[in-house]
Structure 1
Amino acid sequence: MIIFPILILVSLVLYIYYKVMVIRARDPLTQEYLNSRSKIFLGGFVFFFAINQYVFYQTRLSLFVGLVFLILGAAQARLGWKASRHYQQEYKKQEAHSQT
């Protein structure tokens, strides 16, 4: 199953990309938005890593550890998604306010 290592690698690279962009951004709203995007990919990394570990080892211990990682990864991605949508709305409010 080559798909899970690819997904792990892609999510890790995108997580690092967004974290670097947070450091480079000057606007606090932009930093919060980019940080929320990085949380999505961190959650994806943990989620896919958990699936890959169970598929690779298929033991009871890897099942329990994988379930914990699945829950943590899904929660992290969900919270990042919600924060990302929130900051998108804040961008729209800021743009509307700056145009008037």
Structure 2
Amino acid sequence: MIIFPILIVLSAVLYIYYKVAILKTKDGLTQAYFNAKSRICLGSFLLLFGINQYVFYGTKISLFIGIVFIIIGGMQAVRGFKETKHYRREWRRLNPAD
């Protein structure tokens, strides 16, 4: 199961990328958009880590920890998707020519 560690590292790298991108921009709407994208990456990191935790160890305690991580990661990802959709719509409303 090499796919889970690769996806976990990829989502962590993307999370850091979007957090650094927030520091580089001055526009508040763009910062909020990048923050929403980073929330998706954080949610996917937690979700994948929870799945990997159970698959790798397979005990009851790892199942409990995995379920907690999956719930928290899912909530973060869903909120990030909703915020990303909202801020993308706002950007299109404010910049109709682009």
Q: Which amino acid aligns with 1:41?
A: C
Q: Secondary structure at the match of 1:81?
A: helix
Q: TM-score, normalised by structure 2?
A: 0.97
Cα distance, 1:32 vs. partner?
A: 0.1
Cα distance, 1:78 vs. partner?
A: 0.4
Q: Secondary structure at the match of 2:76?
A: helix
2:81 is the counterpart of 1:81? yes
- The CA distance in 2 between the partners of 1:6 and 1:51, in whole Å, is 13
Q: TM-score, normalised by structure 1?
A: 0.95
- How is 1:35-46 mapped onto 2 (pairs within 5 angstroms)? 35-46=35-46
- How is 1:1-100 mapped onto 2 (pairs within 5 angstroms)? 1-96=1-96
- The CA distance in 2 between the partners of 1:23 and 1:78, in whole Å, is 24
Structure 2's unaligned 5+ residue stretches are none
Q: CA RMSD in A?
A: 0.7
What CA deviation, in whole Å up to 9, does each residue of 1:19-76 have, x standing for no partner? 0000111000000000000000000000000011111111000001100100100110
Q: Secondary structure at the match of 1:39?
A: helix
4+ residue runs over 3 A deviation = none
Q: Which amino acid aligns with 1:95?
A: N
Give the total of aligned pairs: 97
